[in-house]
């Protein structure tokens, strides 16, 4: 299982040198070290507005306080992330239906499998729905995961109407009294209108089968894209209102700073974070774990 510390290695490498220099100086952060900190955070795709705010906060916070700069920055960073509300896979509205969307290759299918694994671990009975009928391989991949996890799956035939497959999957989930239905969709560019309309149809057919479904619509963002992923999410949100974000491939990204702009710019909760390729490598988003791994605070310094 990949840990937060492992997953953030690349981003940390990007910022570690500067942080070490800024943090090991005894004196309050001076203009020079703050400038260095500013440009380093920007390199890690932390949005400009936030960086300037943090630098101002850091200067203010330092005055008269006997706490370490690292702890101060940690607090500022954690406070600028949204608090996470817990997510329950077992709910009165059964089956809890989660529609998973995103651009090509962002990590949707893998994330659906990981979510099914988490749901099963939480004591729920999940069903996977493979509506990626564009490519035979799209559905095969989810079927492969389902077999590996011992999870039930409804697979659309190649070329079938994705909305019809979604409808069938929800019908099957209801008939089999499943707790959750996780619907994988084909990757699509946020700029292609017909494909976004197809997604609206998939969503519409779920609510036709069960009023209120999908209960969640999550976009899977590829963390290696950094800030560009936020732009994609905004466009998806305009076509199909989203209720949450899953960040995939944090382990491959050197631009994890973009995570700070998801909540601020999109106003959406970050539900889960992909830390690796295995089915265990999906963790509920944890702002403190994220920031600590980013700043790599050794256990001995915590709470100091
Ligand atoms: N390192 C790492 N790789 C990941 C993660 N999530 C997904 N991947 C890899 O990213 C690649 C694409 O993942 P898929 O799940 O197929 O992506 P997709 O969005 O379903 O792709 P399309 O259906 O083609 O749009 C695969 O090689 C996955 O193993 C992650 O959290 N970390
Ligand atoms: Mg896929």
- The alpha carbon of 46 and the centre of ligand 1 are apart by a number of angstroms equal to 23
Q: Where are the domains of the chain?
A: 1-297
Place 34 in a pLDDT band, splitting at 50, 70 and 90: confident
State the Cα–Cα distance between residues 148 and 194, nearest whole angstrom.
34
The model carries a pTM of 0.92
On the 0-12 / 13-18 / 19+ scale of CB atoms within 10 A, 175 is exposed
- The alpha carbon of 132 and the centre of ligand 2 are apart by a number of angstroms equal to 7
Mean pLDDT of the chain: 89
Q: 205 CB less than 6 Å from ligand 1?
A: no
Q: 277 CB less than 6 Å from ligand 1?
A: yes
Report whether pLDDT(125) > 50: yes
- The alpha carbon of 58 and the centre of ligand 1 are apart by a number of angstroms equal to 37
Q: What is the pLDDT of residue 301?
A: 39
Place 65 in a pLDDT band, splitting at 50, 70 and 90: low
Of all ligands present, the nearest one to the C-alpha of 188 is 1
Q: 6 CB less than 6 Å from ligand 1?
A: no
Q: What is the pLDDT of residue 36?
A: 83
Place 94 in a pLDDT band, splitting at 50, 70 and 90: very high
Superfamily of domain covering 1-297: P-loop containing nucleotide triphosphate hydrolases (3.40.50.300)
Q: 132 CB less than 6 Å from ligand 1?
A: yes
Report whether pLDDT(37) > 90: no
Q: What is the pLDDT of residue 66?
A: 64
State the Cα–Cα distance between residues 114 and 110, nearest whole angstrom.
6
Q: What is the pLDDT of residue 64?
A: 63
- The alpha carbon of 220 and the centre of ligand 1 are apart by a number of angstroms equal to 10
Q: What is the pLDDT of residue 70?
A: 79
Q: 131 CB less than 6 Å from ligand 1?
A: no
Q: 249 CB less than 6 Å from ligand 1?
A: yes
Could you report the per-residue pLDDT of 217-239, keeping only the tens digit for each? Answer: 999 999 999 999 999 999 999 99
Could you report the per-residue pLDDT of 173-203, keeping only the tens digit for each? Answer: 999 999 999 999 999 998 899 999 999 999 9
Of all ligands present, the nearest one to the C-alpha of 106 is 1
Place 26 in a pLDDT band, splitting at 50, 70 and 90: low
Q: How far is CA 266 from CA 82, 84, 225, 226, 235, in A?
A: 11, 15, 16, 14, 10
Could you report the per-residue pLDDT of 203-214, keeping only the tens digit for each? Answer: 999 999 999 999
Mean pLDDT calculated for residue range 91-113: 95
- What does 172-225 look like in DSSP terms, one character per residue? HHHHTT-SEEEEE-----TT-HHHHHHHHHHHHHHHHHSTT--SEEEEEEEGGG
CA torsion sign, 84 to 153 to 96 to 210? positive
Which carries the bigger pLDDT value, residue 19 or residue 215? 215
Q: What is the pLDDT of residue 299?
A: 45
- Bridge partners for 155 per DSSP: 130
What percent of the chain stands above pLDDT 70? 94
In this structure, what DSSP letter does residue 284 have?
Answer: E
- The alpha carbon of 199 and the centre of ligand 2 are apart by a number of angstroms equal to 14
Report whether pLDDT(300) > 60: no
Q: 135 CB less than 6 Å from ligand 1?
A: no
Q: 244 CB less than 6 Å from ligand 1?
A: no
């Amino acid at each position: 299982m990949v840990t937060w510390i492992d997953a953030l290695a690349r981003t940390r490498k990007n910022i570690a040198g500067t942080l070490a220099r800024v943090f090991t100086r005894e004196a309050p952060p001076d203009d020079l070290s703050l400038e260095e900190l500013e440009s380093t955070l920007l390199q890690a795709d932390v949005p400009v507005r936030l960086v300037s705010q943090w630098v101002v906060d850091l200067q203010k916070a330092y005055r008269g306080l006997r706490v370490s700069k690292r702890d101060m920055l940690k607090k500022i960073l954690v406070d600028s992330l949204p608090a996470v509300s817990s997510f329950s896979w077992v709910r009165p509205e059964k089956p809890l239906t989660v529609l998973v969307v995103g651009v090509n290759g962002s990590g949707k299918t893998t994330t659906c499998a990981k979510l099914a694994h988490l749901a099963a671990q939480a004591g729920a009975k999940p069903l996977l729905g493979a509506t990626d009928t564009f490519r035979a391989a799209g559905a095969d991949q989810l079927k492969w995961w389902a077999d590996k996890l011992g999870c039930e799956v409804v697979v659309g035939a190649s070329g079938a109407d994705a909305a019809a497959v979604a409808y069938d999957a929800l019908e099957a989930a209801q008939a089999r009294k499943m707790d959750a239905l996780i619907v994988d969709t084909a990757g699509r560019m946020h700029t292609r209108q017909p494909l976004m309309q197809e997604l609206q149809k998939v969503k519409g057919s779920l609510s036709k089968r069960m009023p209120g479904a999908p209960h969640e619509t999550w976009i899977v963002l590829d963390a290696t894209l950094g800030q560009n992923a936020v732009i994609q999410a905004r466009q998806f949100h305009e076509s199909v209102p989203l209720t949450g974000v899953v960040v995939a491939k944090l382990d491959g990204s050197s631009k994890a700073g973009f995570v700070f702009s998801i909540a601020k710019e999109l106003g959406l909760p970050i539900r889960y974070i992909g830390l690796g390729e295995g089915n265990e490598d999906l963790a509920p988003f944890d702002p403190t774990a994220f920031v600590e791994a980013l700043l790599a605070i050794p256990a001995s310094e915590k709470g100091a």
